[in-house]
Chain A
Amino acid sequence: MTGREAFLDRLRTRLAVPAPENLPHPLVPVEGVPAVAYNLDLDDPVAAFERAATAAGATVRRGGLADAGDIVAEVLATVGARTAVVAGDLDVDITLPAGVEALPFDSPVQCERADLGITGAAYGIAATGSLVLHAGAAGGRTASLLPPVHLAFLRTERLLRDAGELFRRLGERFPGGLPSQLVLVTGPSRSADIELEVTVGVHGPRQLWIGVLT
């Protein structure tokens, strides 16, 4: 018998007799899985996204496609970046100014060297201010993770109301199957492990900038 069969047979044997009912607090049957009812104003998803992302510690800039370059310039100036990796499939047109070295994104080692990672975003989630990134995009797993600053461009038509709109329709959103990694990113990396004081950037980016483009 293989390890798998022996393992699962043991579970089947144990489950052959159902667990006795907890009489003081019996299970209550629930039909389906209820949707999460957020106490939030989501009528204007862009405004809701900006509020939630800002509350999570991200810096949001709104604009049209033509404003992407200005947003990049502002980030570069603010953080004093000298090197950047840019995800190859970015559907906004940006040019790095002279003096900022563009690193080819071919491995985590390049991302580790970069001061700034610039990626797109597959989706945004208005209720929580989250970005949805994945390994199938040109930013891979690490362009949004290893540099100390991450700038993501999110197109407003990619904005979903809440996490349910992603998770309940994953199949149609990724018809070729899920990429090997799918990650929701909400604000910069944070830790409260020292006396509950929130510090940012303990492992991932210290700063998250989001350009929301219409």
Chain B
Amino acid sequence: MSTLRERARIAVANDELQVALERATDRFATQKVAGASTVANYEELREAARWVRAGVLARLPDVLGELADKLESRGVHVHWASDGADANAYILDVAQQCGAKVVVKSKSMASEEIHLNDTLGAAGIEAVETDLGEWIIQLARETPSHIILPAIHKTRKDIAAVLNQVAGGDLSDVPAELCAFARQQLRAKFMQAEVGISGVNFGVAETGSVVIITNEGNGRLVTSVPRTHIAVMGMERVLQTWEQFELMLALLPRAATGQQITTYVNALSGPRRPGEVDGPDEMHLVILDNGRSDILGTEFQEILHCIRCGACLNVCPVYRQIGGHGYGAVYSGPVGAVLTPLLSAAEEAGELQNASTLCGACWQACPVKIPLQDLLLGLRRKKAEEATSFSGERLAWQAWGTAWSKPGAYRATTGVAGAAAKVVPESWVPVRWREGRMAPRPRGTSFRHWMGGEGSGT
């Protein structure tokens, strides 16, 4: 697997990607500001949302228990999956019991996280992504590069080329034509599929409901047409009350796209009831842990407040340069830089906390006010503490810290450092450090001396 540095270099050198990233992130960041201005108390709502999310997590076992009880009383099968393999095995079993050949999916980051499509595909079941962006990248055999715009890195020409693999070369690159083709192709899959699989934006315990928020309507189709619906929910994506949901619904679309509300807000509370004319006969909810419980009770718990709007990606100076693929993981941007190392023990994920300037723009943009820069800094500290091997760098920093906490030693060493910087050639500075930086050149006199204060002799 490539390193962060290698992936970043490739991304920065890709002119088309840079244009696409700038267009999308600028537009979304601007629209978010406009969206926030349509409510008078946006800041009050953010603060309240942070408090609400913290309260739900503190009572998570009870809230999940209530959600499951209510859903089960409506005939929903609830499965508790400790990890991805557990979730995948359950979903595959349900699909096979239904005799499924085709499964339609609406966007679910949780199912990306557990690589569900690979499991279904290996068992000979065709899993079709139906969100337009997800379908495009599935056909291109890529991974999403943005939480809400999975194909953000592709131009219309790229997309036309991908869809022409299916269409046989007849499509132009006009978005309306590409969409019409997708509608026709995917509608046939919806009518054919035995099982629909969706993600969950929020579970609401009060009534035993799961809510799916979309613009395209594929989330409605997946949960309305096939005979069986399976929803996959990260265990933290739950609320206690509809009052809390009203708050989240005011924040999520505004933060994500600047919309006051998405086209569809779809609340599902079970399979078709007696007297209802359509809807699935069977409904399942898979509640996924997959490493999340390890984060509970730690200083990083607040990352589980995330409602997956993508606002932190759009404002992040790192994401804006390297895009989602630069992170080499399912979750990208500041939230991904925190979540990925916590969810995955892989050594590779251990460098993602460095993909940040600690500027805090993510925290400012976050609708539930997660202090992402504090979490990133905490992860860096943890990483440094865990480094057990002998480290010359650590000794040097310790010596420096000791010296500069005493005024005499500080004065003595600044003089030496200034003199040394004049005679040491820049080529002695490590190449990796010099990349993209300019070494500071000392002025000759110290600031204290220049100000005529202590040490100047006057």
Contacts and interface: CB of A to CB of B under 8 A. Distances in A.
Bound together: yes
B246 interface: yes
B175 A197 contact: yes
A82 interface: no
B175 A3 contact: no
B39 interface: yes
A179 B277 CA distance: 12
Contacts of B218: 202-203
Contact of A30 (B47, B80, B180): B47
A141 B179 contact: no
A183 B58 contact: no
B130 to A, nearest CB: 7
A7 B225 CA distance: 32
Nearest to A205: B217
| Chain A residues touching B, majority SS | loop
Interface stretch (B268-276, B325-333, B347-355, B405-413): B268-276
A15 to B, nearest CB: 6
A135 to B, nearest CB: 5
B215 A10 contact: no
Contact of A202 (B64, B132, B207, B262): B132
Contact of A11 (B38, B60, B269): B60
B317 interface: no
B151 interface: yes
Interface string B24-44: 100100000000011111001
A18 interface: yes
A185 B263 contact: yes
Contacts of B44: 34
A128 B297 contact: no
Nearest to B23: A196
Interface stretch (B92-100, B118-126, B298-306, B389-397): B298-306
B264 interface: yes
B51 A25 contact: no
A179 B269 contact: yes
B156 A29 contact: no
Contact of B220 (A36, A112, A141): A141
Nearest to B222: A203
Given A20-B299, A128-B261, A135-B279, A194 B270 contact: no
Nearest to B250: A36
A204 B264 contact: yes
B159 to A, nearest CB: 6
Contacts of B287: 7
Interface in A160-209: 163-164, 167-168, 170, 177-197, 199, 201-205
A87 to B, nearest CB: 9
A36 B247 contact: yes
Given A141-B224, A145-B221, A24 B270 contact: no
Contact of B278 (A108, A130, A164, A195): A108
Nearest to A33: B243
Contacts of A195: 20, 23, 155-156, 175
A203 B183 contact: yes
Nearest to B75: A180
Contacts of B136: 193
A29 B249 CA distance: 21
A107 interface: yes
Interface in B245-303: 245-247, 249-250, 257, 260-273, 275-279, 287, 289, 293-294, 296-299, 301-302
A6 B244 contact: no
B380 interface: no
Interface string A98-142: 000000011111001000000000000001101000011010111
A164 B247 CA distance: 9
A117 to B, nearest CB: 12
A147 B272 CA distance: 21
Nearest to B301: A19
A22 interface: yes
Contacts of B64: 8, 11
Nearest to B137: A193
Contacts of A197: 156, 175
Given A7-B82, A27-B54, A39-B40, A179 B289 contact: no
Contacts of A107: 277-278
B102 to A, nearest CB: 15
B12 interface: no
Interface in A25-45: 25, 27-30, 33-34, 36-40
B191 interface: yes
B364 to A, nearest CB: 12
B423 to A, nearest CB: 40
A141 B367 CA distance: 31
8 contacts: A4-B80, A10-B289, A107-B277, A181-B224, A189-B217, A191-B179, A199-B176, A202-B132
Interface pairs A-B: 5 shortest CB-CB: A204-B217, A193-B133, A19-B301, A14-B296, A7-B80
